[in-house]
Structure 1
Amino acid sequence: MKVSQARDAYEALHASFGWRVPTSFNMAEACCRRWAARRRCATQTAVIEDGPGRPPRAYSYGTLAEEACRLSHALRLLGVRRGDRVAIVLPQRFETAVAYMAVLQMGAVAMPLSQLFGPEALEYRLQDSAAVVALVDEATGPAVLQVRGRCPALRHVVGLTGAFDTDVVDWPHARPGMRKQFELVHTLADDPAVLIYTSGTTGNPKGALIPHRALIGNLTGFVCSQNWFGFDPERPQSGSDAVFWSPADWAWTGGLMDALLPTLYFGRPIVAWSGRFAPEVAFELMQRHGVTHTFLFPTALKAMMKAFPEPRRHYRLRLRAIMSAGEAVGDAVFDYCRQQLGVTVNEMFGQTEINYVVGNCALMWPAKPGSMGKAYPGHRVAVIDEAGQECPVGVPGEVAVHRRDVHGDLDPIFFLGYWNNEAATRAKFTGDPLDSWCRTGDMAVRDEDGYLWYQGRADDVFKAAGYRIGPSEIENCLVKHPAVANAAVVPKPDEQRGALVKAYVVLAPDHAQRRALCVDPAREFDAPLVAELQAHVKGRLAPYEYPKEIEFIDALPMTTTGKVQRRVLRLQEEERYRQRQSSLAPSERA
């Protein structure tokens, strides 16, 4: 299909789509209770739990509902009431799905916290949210107990896998005494459901309060990005053998709103893997469980590409869709997915506050390699300038989503606001939050077909010698070289040019081993490879874009959601510059 023809079909779909958001809506009812109430659906698998050193185990929708009801009764006995925040500090496992359903059906607010958080990160979020209960397991519980004394609102810590301390409620011991039925608390679609803290790249993390209706707003993006057409939510098992898995932590928007909840909404099974991610683990897991749909970060896909250039020679895969987000995939990974995995990867863009708003759908409109895609049906998206005006085609600007769709109706995807931070909420919008653009802080260019091309975070784009530099294009070019596993590009302060283009490079495993064997790596390995990589970029991009300096490192700084923290590297370069300046004589300083 030609892009022009696809555009006509896309525009017709986008123009005709309208939201149907009921006044009353509850995520737990939509994702669990309604399936458990139907005899045929209740026995179908909801969660397949798997992990290192133990056999997989499947749990049905009926079991999920019963266990959630038992836990809801226990939480009520512990004093949890409507609107209270309940921290869920758990990895991917069956008990985590139970915890979400239990909290949501009570009308309480689920607050996911990553198992990777240290004491300081946990303490800030528990204090700021005034969470009253924390649900943990034996791995995450000790860190919570370490800060509990400094979190006055936190009344109870519940060990869902057992008591590992005298101050922890032993849920397996209390569980048999709890009833298997719980009356759903009536919630409005606009009522708060989830409190997720942003990554906090600048300042303290902000808590984004997500309403129950946001799940409805996510569905067009999920359906499109997962090629999930033909699924009838009222008849979930009719002719479908779809199985979902993603390594995305269920404590983050990508794992919760893009994986766990929408999969359960459609009555399908999701694999819960509690071990660490590795390329061979990912392929083995997808083969073992017949995974058909997945969400994989670009960093994960890059690692899989480098480790298994021809994966179908080693694994029997049933993949039908791959969604990717967090960073630009780039055409090297795009081609790998299409040629070696047999799937056209659907890139997606969104953020905690307004998730699943832009992306691709290989079945409905053609993907352009490297593009973020176009606005999913129901969302009105534009690239705007600093004054809030839409940018012309080809002019970089900030990606923004309008509070109202093309029909003038409120878009259900939007968050309610930042927790106890009205100023930050107002700053997110160009004007009235109910009738204005919501800024994402991400830069992009729109082409004549309506596709958006990611340019980086607003604070990632920089100027070098007067040229505007978007790091993602250079990073993508570097990753195409066989010696490069991953790369991050940042500005290095320079007296003459203002900044130089600098690349931090993680070597592919075989090249890293060769470097380790060198007696003098800087002379024998680094200098020749730097020249080779610079020539590699020069031959493919504009002359001003090639990295003037390349530094090899073992790993890039990453957020827990899999995004490269370029800001960390940029601050490092700025600090090095200050140190260089302070060591110079006054007459030599810039």
Structure 2
Amino acid sequence: MTKRSELPCDARFDGYAALHQAFRWQVPEDFSIAEACCGRWARETPNAPAILFESDSGCRAQYSYGQLQRAANRLANALQRLGVQAGDRVAIVLPQRFETAVAQIAVNQLGAVAMPLSMLFGPEALEFRLQDSAAVVAIVEGAALASMRQVRARCPALRQLLAVGEGAQADELEWMAALQAEDARFVSARRKADDAAVLIYTSGTTGPPKGALIPQRALIGNLSGFVASQNWFGFDPAAPERGTEAVFWSPADWAWTGGLMDALLPTLYFGRPIVAYQGRFAPERAFELMQQHGVTHSFLFPTALKAMMKAVPAPRQRYALKLQAIMSAGEAVGDAVFGWCEQQLGITVNEMFGQTEINYVVGNCSLLWPARPGSMGRAYPGHRVAVVDDEGKICPPGEPGDVAVHRRDVHGDPDPVFFLGYWNKPEATAAKFTGEPSNSWCRTGDTAIMDEQGYLWYQGRSDDVFKAAGYRIGPSEIENCLVKHEAVANAAVVPKPDAERGALVKAYVVLAPGHQGSPELVAALQAHVRGRLAPYEYPKDIEFIEALPMTTTGKVQRRVLRLQEEQRAREAALA
């Protein structure tokens, strides 16, 4: 088991090529996320801080690893009393708070499968996932109880609701009462590394959500990327055996992969504290939290960074920050935000790429290899990544294709990061893989170009890339260019159907505070893009919008806007 002062691998590295050649996965036959992220620390350093809680209402609390373990033991006993068995799905509908970490550890100790669900989900979204997974118990924060009650009768497998906070009804269990009735001791059964641990539903940007079943070992598969993208999180690169103090915070929802597998669990794995903030994201509040808690490492998605850049252009003049690293993922950061972070925060953003099924596989580590603005980065140690064509053959450098990850690393060892499959969807699981031999490449559905040095350059989701007047258009480059204009807070580019050209480039633009939409601004933004990109890439149509449609994971839903344009075109044709 990795100690607090050790790296999650068996060698020290200097340089990208040496990093890959020296790295070897260490995946024990028995591995438990609960033990790795809490149990061992509760025994070795029980008083070390684990969760630093703060809410927008002013409530603050600090919880140790010992407290986390005792609460998880009580909850595991309570769930066992409810009949939860190994393999059962337990829904967790909670925001960032202590109880969320408790639930993850407790469910894992039981050998059950944690199914995190966003607090933003409405009744329809909850019902689909509860029915599809056949979850037997749901642990629900008070604010989400009303939606859960609407659908509970239509989810026959759901036996009980466990309410966190006030608001439990007579047929529901109240969190504190349930835990106080149980013993603070619990003996966990041994878990295999291949055992299912988490069921996370994809965001559904290209179709109905699918449940990705994540094994215990996937956390190990995340660690090389996590440590690298966080500039050797918790380690002194000059003397890794010494270790350093580290405090993590991210606004990423703990109900999705970015918050759970890129923030909460890896932070706990290394025995460090993580800030749990229960409140809406706001740029100034983000800086205040980082200052107050001495945050050293963070995951900030591009949308958050853009908002912070626009709201606080010179943050170090207002805040005393201890930031050592920022990882960003979900969308391309773009060189405007990249440059702002370097100049105003003194941080080279390490972009990362992954997805629920195969997370944390590509990115940067500014300590070990140079980050290139606009690039997704290179394959992280232990992951073999390529760009493949429709037949699963590796594309030559400079040719766009689908980013794919091989089942085995450069040494021929199995990559532990892979998901087990889509819940009850064997055909969809099989369709995810391609190539010879034995369908060994897992497609991500994201289009990119790989250069001669192995850097990947994101072109967009495969279904986001479109052709206009015969030219292949990747939306991210145009969006990045628009955001560089002082009037633009965010932007999304989609095709607008056109009889002559097939499609026009259309931009939906969210304005920065203090700016108003006008024909003059439209012309200025068009000129702004035309003067920086290819002539065919400037948006022929610009529509100002209050907010872009977003998934619960912070990704722009271009599909929603694209379908809206298609509907408008159909209506115009009938008029």
TM-score where L is the length of structure 1: 0.93
| 2:541 corresponds to | 549
Note closer, same or farther for the CA distance 1:57–1:433 as it changes in structure 2 (3 Å cut): farther
Residue type of the alignment partner of 2:24: G
Q: Give the Å deviation of 1:18.
A: 1.1
Q: Give the Å deviation of 1:241.
A: 2.0
Residue type of the alignment partner of 2:573: Q
| 1:152 corresponds to | 156
Residue type of the alignment partner of 2:212: A
Equivalent pairs, count: 561
- For 2:162 and 2:469, the matched residues in 1 are separated by 57
Q: Give the Å deviation of 1:527.
A: 1.1
Of 230, 235, 251, which residue of structure 2 is paired with 1:231? 235
- 1:299 paired with 2:279, answer no
Q: Give the Å deviation of 1:229.
A: 5.0
Kept after mapping to 2: 8 A contact 1:35/1:267:
yes
Deviates more, 1:336-345 or 1:134-143: 134-143
Q: Give the Å deviation of 1:168.
A: 1.2
Q: Give the Å deviation of 1:139.
A: 1.2
Of 21, 36, 42, which residue of structure 2 is paired with 1:30? 36
| 1:86 corresponds to | 90
Kept after mapping to 1: 8 A contact 2:210/2:422:
yes
Q: Give the Å deviation of 1:239.
A: 4.9
- For 1:85 and 1:225, the matched residues in 2 are separated by 31
Of 73, 77, 84, which residue of structure 2 is paired with 1:73? 77
Of 392, 399, 405, which residue of structure 2 is paired with 1:395? 399
- 1:436 paired with 2:448, answer no
Kept after mapping to 2: 8 A contact 1:237/1:267:
no
- For 1:170 and 1:418, the matched residues in 2 are separated by 33
Q: Give the Å deviation of 1:236.
A: 11
| 2:131 corresponds to | 127
For residue 418 of structure 2, give the secondary structure of its aligned residue in structure 1. coil
Deviations 1:199-252 (A, max 9, x none): 1123321000000000000000100111125639xx999652210000000000
Kept after mapping to 2: 8 A contact 1:162/1:173:
no
Note closer, same or farther for the CA distance 1:330–1:18 as it changes in structure 2 (3 Å cut): same
| 2:111 corresponds to | 107
| 1:471 corresponds to | 475
- For 1:127 and 1:23, the matched residues in 2 are separated by 32
Matches within 5 A, 1:32-431: 32-38=38-44, 41-229=45-233, 231=235, 239-430=243-434
- 1:558 paired with 2:558, answer no
Kept after mapping to 2: 8 A contact 1:236/1:267:
no
Kept after mapping to 1: 8 A contact 2:392/2:435:
no
- For 1:433 and 1:256, the matched residues in 2 are separated by 33
Kept after mapping to 2: 8 A contact 1:237/1:268:
no
- For 1:410 and 1:392, the matched residues in 2 are separated by 25
Note closer, same or farther for the CA distance 1:8–1:467 as it changes in structure 2 (3 Å cut): farther
| 1:489 corresponds to | 493
Kept after mapping to 2: 8 A contact 1:141/1:159:
yes
Q: Give the Å deviation of 1:432.
A: 7.8
For residue 18 of structure 2, give the secondary structure of its aligned residue in structure 1. helix
Q: Cα RMSD over matched residues?
A: 1.7
| 1:568 corresponds to | 560
Residue type of the alignment partner of 2:30: S
Residue type of the alignment partner of 1:136: V
For residue 447 of structure 2, give the secondary structure of its aligned residue in structure 1. strand
Deviations 1:183-202 (A, max 9, x none): 01211000000000001123
Residue type of the alignment partner of 2:534: A
- 1:537 paired with 2:529, answer yes
- For 2:117 and 2:240, the matched residues in 1 are separated by 30
Deviates more, 1:128-137 or 1:46-55: 46-55
Note closer, same or farther for the CA distance 1:311–1:462 as it changes in structure 2 (3 Å cut): same
Of 469, 482, 504, which residue of structure 2 is paired with 1:500? 504
Note closer, same or farther for the CA distance 1:565–1:62 as it changes in structure 2 (3 Å cut): same
Q: Give the Å deviation of 1:159.
A: 1.3
Q: Give the Å deviation of 1:312.
A: 1.0
Note closer, same or farther for the CA distance 1:488–1:163 as it changes in structure 2 (3 Å cut): closer
- For 1:565 and 1:414, the matched residues in 2 are separated by 25
Residue type of the alignment partner of 1:545: E
Q: Give the Å deviation of 1:17.
A: 1.0
Residue type of the alignment partner of 1:128: D
Deviations 1:121-164 (A, max 9, x none): 00010011000000012112221121110000000101133552
Note closer, same or farther for the CA distance 1:276–1:420 as it changes in structure 2 (3 Å cut): same
Deviates more, 1:499-508 or 1:50-59: 50-59
Kept after mapping to 2: 8 A contact 1:163/1:169:
no
For residue 140 of structure 1, give the secondary structure of its aligned residue in structure 2. helix
Kept after mapping to 1: 8 A contact 2:234/2:243:
no
Note closer, same or farther for the CA distance 1:469–1:67 as it changes in structure 2 (3 Å cut): same
Kept after mapping to 2: 8 A contact 1:88/1:111:
yes
Kept after mapping to 2: 8 A contact 1:236/1:268:
no
Note closer, same or farther for the CA distance 1:148–1:434 as it changes in structure 2 (3 Å cut): farther
- For 2:202 and 2:57, the matched residues in 1 are separated by 33
Residue type of the alignment partner of 1:530: V
Deviates more, 1:411-420 or 1:180-189: 180-189
- For 2:244 and 2:277, the matched residues in 1 are separated by 22
- For 1:322 and 1:312, the matched residues in 2 are separated by 15
- 1:579 paired with 2:568, answer no
Residue type of the alignment partner of 2:65: Y
Note closer, same or farther for the CA distance 1:31–1:156 as it changes in structure 2 (3 Å cut): same
Kept after mapping to 2: 8 A contact 1:244/1:259:
yes
